[in-house]
Copies of this chain bind each other. A is one copy, B any other.
Amino acid sequence: MATNGHLPESNVDVLIIGAGPAGLMAACWMAHCGVKTRIVDKRNAKIFCGQADGLQCRSLEIFDSLGFGDRAWKEANHMIEICMWNPGPDGLIRRSDRIPDTIVGLSRFQQIVIHQGRVERFFLDNIKKYSQDTIHVERGVLPESLEIDRSKVEDDSAYPVTVKLRYLTEEEATPEQQVTGSKVSDGIFRSNLVQEDDEDDLIQKSKARNGTGEIVHAKYVIGCDGARSWTRRALGFELQGEATDFIWGVLDIIPITDFPDIRMRCAIHSAEHGSLMVIPRENKLVRLYIQLKEVTPDASGRADRSKITPDVIFGAAQKILSPYKLDYEHCDWWTAYQIGQRVGSEFDANKRVFLAGDAVHTHSPKAGQGMNVSMQDTFNLGWKVALAAKGVAKRSILGTYQSERQRVAKDLIDFDHQFSRLFSGRPAKDVMDAEGVNMEEFKAAFLKGNMFSSGLSVNYGPNNLVVKAGGDDGSNSAEVRVSADAFAKSQALATGLPVGMRFNSFKVLSQADARPWHFQEKLKSDGRFRVVLFAGNILSTAQKQRVDKFCEALDAPANFLRAATPAGAPVDSVVEVLTIHSAKRTETELLRDFPEILHPFDQHDGWDYNKVFVDDVSYHEGFGDAYTNYGVDKERGCVVVVRPDHYVGWVGDTDDFDGVQKYFGGCLVLGQKAELPLR
């Protein structure tokens, strides 16, 4: 660490500001990819209580690829069914519908509910393990200034972003949680009902006590510092959108009630007293989201916080649930918020400073989206930054972050806007009641929301990393542009693997030992691209010849696989080739039937037995029928490129080696590598 003037200075590849789920996901990528990284947070985050959230199917798939999906799955409460309750003709609530909480067949996981503090714990443990204990969250550290040297932003070796950090005392870094004087923990201090402006205060305090800090020069900065993002303000960016008049309260209690569906997820519309959502949680807790009809915003559009107490919220819940009785002895946490939707117009500055999570989109928490979409922002961004910082990928791929994630954020905001209106509205008394909300419309929105909230409907548009038709928005480089006709033809080779969507999972068997695997289990988040060779019927002579020809090209030193690999590193360091064939397992042999590049030899470890799979029946876990489910022809197969974040980047014919070569030519730095391999 050099010193410049008073403050020490240092370089780092990536600086992450904010250690909530979005920041931790970014740090997790850096740990898995071996990128020199620091992550700072102004809070000494030991305060978490409340802040539960749903985890989408997609988030669980991501956790699993990082190595801790099982921990979340084991600890969480599994929500299976949603019950809808509406007023009957007598005005009393009754159950009108039951629907599965997760659409059947979408994913190998279903939506679950878990405390955010546990999710952060899983991340911290995982980051510690994969970074070999080199990446720690530095708490009580607040950024004071940020500058980008615009003359250097396109220089791969430069550290063009300079951030001044200030160290807080333990006391300064501890938020005053009990703003309401209640004995129960509350989240009001984090709620959008409070205008927080403590950064300036904290910096003034630090200056007053001659507090100190440091200067960090970073290649890349990722701001994950929440709805009132300091990073966003430092860049001069703003969120667009506005608040509504709807005020909701949140209670985490162990309920004592005769309401029969208290362990189901419930959407309850009362006739006159507002709406309530029941989210059953772990450890006997239930979260209630409760509409506060009696609290309304003032002329400035802000609600009077002093009117919101646990008693007010609980009283509202009792009225909505009537004639069922509701009581509790234990309340774990409570908060309140005002519904509103806002999205950022800029997600990055010069592809050097990025914003993610609540820093670029805010909305109501009820849809259980917040933590998921935020983590998925940095799951999209992290590997791109990591590969660019390491010189493995071209910097141009960083432009895809905004184009891919801004659209997801806008879709989320639109959905939340519609859903909040329908959920906060009074149910229609009959078909003539035009002001009331039609319960059929609400159910339809709920079902649509269910697809949306799985996280699996995301479909990225065409760009350098997603080769499909369209994409004349400038983010698409010439090398990989395809015509609509050509694209339709190639997509038809794998109808179950739409380009731009995440690689779906079916069970296949390992050729070498017959063990069944969900194919997604083989797509670990380690920063590697993957070429999935659907080798088809490898026992047919004609098909074997096609596969041999493809493999010969794969193996050629000038082509992408070896050209992307740093000197001396294993051939699967940057791009891994995985094979799924469709011949009978017991008639096929790994060493005899498959070219060596599909199971590379190592002098110390022998052949690699973990890269060739077969679409065949298992003894104990049924038949994945992968070729049928992926929509791939069992004779001819095809080739699919999978991005490090599991999105399908390219689909083509086994004869079309040039197409794969072009794909990687468009996004990777080929040849001239001196860096260490990944991991």
Contacts and interface: CB of A to CB of B under 8 A. Distances in A.
A591 B74 contact: no
B263 A512 contact: yes
Given A78-B515, A514-B80, A257 B104 contact: no
A652 interface: no
A619 B81 contact: yes
B78 A264 contact: no
Contacts of A209: none
Contacts of A284: 605-606, 609
Contacts of A262: 512, 609
Interface string A247-272: 00000001111101011100000000
Given A104-B620, A604-B329, A609-B263, A80 B257 contact: no
Contacts of A86: none
Contacts of A110: 620
A592 B260 contact: yes
Interface residues of A, number: 44
A280 interface: yes
Interface string A511-524: 01111100000000
Contacts of A376: none
Contact of A254 (B100, B280, B516, B605): B605
Of A110, A263, A605, A620, most B-chain CB atoms within 10 Å: A620
Given A258-B591, A280-B513, A604-B329, A80 B619 contact: yes
A675 interface: no
A207 interface: no
Given A254-B604, A260-B591, A606-B254, A80 B329 contact: no
A606 B263 contact: no
Contacts of A79: 513
Contact of A330 (B81, B258, B604): B604
B603 A513 contact: no
Contacts of A81: 513-514, 619
A586 interface: yes
A479 interface: no
A290 interface: no
A98 interface: yes
Interface in A315-370: 329-330
A602 to B, nearest CB: 9
A72 to B, nearest CB: 12
A254 B606 CA distance: 8
Contact of A260 (B98, B255, B590): B590
Nearest to A510: B263
A401 to B, nearest CB: 33
Nearest to A509: B80
A256 B606 contact: yes
A327 B82 CA distance: 59
Contacts of A149: none
Interface in A75-107: 78-81, 98, 100, 102, 104
B104 A619 contact: yes
Contacts of A603: 329
A589 interface: yes
Interface string A573-592: 00000000000001001111
Contact of A515 (B80, B104, B330, B513): B80
Interface string A372-398: 000000000000000000000000000
Nearest to A74: B70
Of A263, A284, A618, most B-chain CB atoms within 10 Å: A263
A620 B604 CA distance: 44
Nearest to A618: B80
Given A254-B605, A591-B258, A592-B260, A100 B619 contact: yes
Interface string A601-629: 00111110100000000111000000000
Contacts of A264: 512-514
A308 to B, nearest CB: 26
A361 B280 CA distance: 50
A586 B80 contact: no
Nearest to A71: B70
Contacts of A80: 513-516, 618-620
Contacts of A280: 513
Contact of A606 (B255, B514, B589, B609): B255
Nearest to A603: B329
Of A100, A102, A258, A619, most B-chain CB atoms within 10 Å: A619
A207 B77 CA distance: 58
Contacts of A513: 78-81, 263-264, 280
A489 to B, nearest CB: 35
Nearest to A329: B604
Contact of A102 (B256, B586, B607, B620): B620
Nearest to A260: B589
Contacts of A70: 70, 74
Contacts of A591: 258, 260
A623 to B, nearest CB: 13
A538 to B, nearest CB: 15
Contacts of A263: 510, 512-513, 609
Interface in A279-296: 280, 284
A351 B110 CA distance: 50
25 contacts: A70-B74, A78-B515, A80-B516, A80-B618, A80-B620, A81-B513, A100-B619, A102-B619, A104-B619, A254-B604, A254-B606, A256-B605, A256-B607, A257-B606, A260-B589, A260-B590, A262-B609, A263-B510, A264-B513, A284-B605, A284-B609, A329-B603, A329-B604, A330-B604, A330-B605
Query: Which 4 pairs from chain A and chain B are nearest by CB?
Result: A256-B606, A263-B513, A80-B514, A263-B512
Given A257-B606, A260-B589, 17 more contacts: A79-B513, A80-B514, A80-B619, A81-B513, A81-B514, A98-B586, A104-B619, A254-B604, A255-B606, A256-B607, A258-B591, A260-B592, A263-B510, A280-B513, A284-B605, A284-B609, A329-B603
